[in-house]
Structure 1
């Protein structure tokens, strides 16, 4: 897990905003399905991110998942002169054959198999939480490899799954949980989550 208290370690200050509420997702399993958000909500969140950067400092650079519900927010910032960094490591969990389908169409036996091995099972044949945690570890390591100043701030438009994994890592907890009941509730749409990280994944 990441160390958050190593003396002298560089601190990475992640400011993660969950994307706005997408259209047409009620009752559906949504991971990599590329759903859209209301353009007004995307612009409103972009304004909030820009205001935070002006108030607190840090680079005018936004990191985003390539999925439109995040990327549409970043695109507004790009129009205002920000550098946009799109990285597939920030994608939501891949639910494979379940993705985009109504939850009511997913056999209960398949859901039960995932719940029985919540961290290691790949729902719908897609991606496990363990695999998702490893790609996010790699994303954080990339900043350490490039070098960061103390307190280096990164602005990110993210998905709920990535936010929960990153928060658990920063809290010194294993990124994944064995029981579905222990998985934290998703942050609200457009909510800010600050995640300070010292050291690197695996330390």
Structure 2
């Protein structure tokens, strides 16, 4: 199975915002970037097109859905990390208003939930459940495209590559970028990560 992971396009959120699961639409640039990425697709349509159920991911998925004449399968397990009461707030404001909570979270972000939110370990669990279900329902020659977020894509790459969760932040996952993995004989191989276009194998 080929697993292709795409991060949604940019939003109009200003730099420094803790976006998390706050709902924000794609910006004009975000739409354009996703369209340009989709135009580089090569080969036949994927068997499955999945999307996080957050708005920015669904809007990105619709670009691919139009190209493939299909409907995305939305799955909340592909959502971005939930920062709870920090969703949509500026990091500077969070640091100033909740310094102790912020420092404790920053020092233990893999296992520490954001206030009223979740930890990266929680994201690993839900994306791992999605990945296990996917592997149980696909064949060797299937191609799966999933539109998700930086946090959920990093979690999936940790699963696939066997990376320690603490290394997740070392993986660049930029907006409108694509990563491709091949699952065969019980293991994943990396074809490319954070690419600006769909590459031919």
Q: Fold-level match, TM-score > 0.5?
A: yes
Q: TM-score scaled by structure 2? A: 0.80
Q: How far apart are 1:37 and its partner, in Å?
A: 1.0
* Cα separation, partners in 2 of 1:173 and 1:151, compared to 1, 3 Å: farther
Distance 1:122 1:140 in 2: 22
Distance 2:106 2:86 in 1: 15
Question: Counterparts of 1:181-192 in structure 2 under 5 Å?
Answer: 183-192=169-178
* Cα separation, partners in 2 of 1:195 and 1:70, compared to 1, 3 Å: same
Match of 2:53 in 1: 66
Are 1:65 and 1:86, in contact at CA under 8 Å, matched by a contact in 2?
A: yes
Are 2:50 and 2:146, in contact at CA under 8 Å, matched by a contact in 1?
A: yes
> Helix, strand or coil: the match of 1:59?
coil
Structure number with greater CO (CA < 8 Å, separation at least 6) is: 1
Are 1:39 and 1:72, in contact at CA under 8 Å, matched by a contact in 2?
A: no
When the two structures are aligned, how many residues end up with a matched partner? 183
Tell me if 1:23 matches 2:3. no
Question: Counterparts of 1:102-117 in structure 2 under 5 Å?
Answer: 102-106=90-94, 107-117=98-108
Deviates more, 1:29-38 or 1:165-174: 165-174
Q: Which runs of 5+ in 2 are unaligned?
A: 188-201
> Helix, strand or coil: the match of 1:173?
coil
The alignment's C-alpha RMSD in Å is 2.4
* Cα separation, partners in 2 of 1:69 and 1:37, compared to 1, 3 Å: same
| 1:22-41 deviation per Cα after TM superposition (whole angstroms, max 9, x unaligned) | 11232211110011112563
Q: How far apart are 1:140 and its partner, in Å?
A: 0.9
Q: How far apart are 1:58 and its partner, in Å?
A: 4.6
| 1:164-196 deviation per Cα after TM superposition (whole angstroms, max 9, x unaligned) | 11112222223x22x8xx722542211111133
Are 1:89 and 1:135, in contact at CA under 8 Å, matched by a contact in 2?
A: yes
* Cα separation, partners in 2 of 1:72 and 1:47, compared to 1, 3 Å: same
Question: Counterparts of 1:28-47 in structure 2 under 5 Å?
Answer: 28-39=17-28, 41-42=30-31, 44-46=33-35
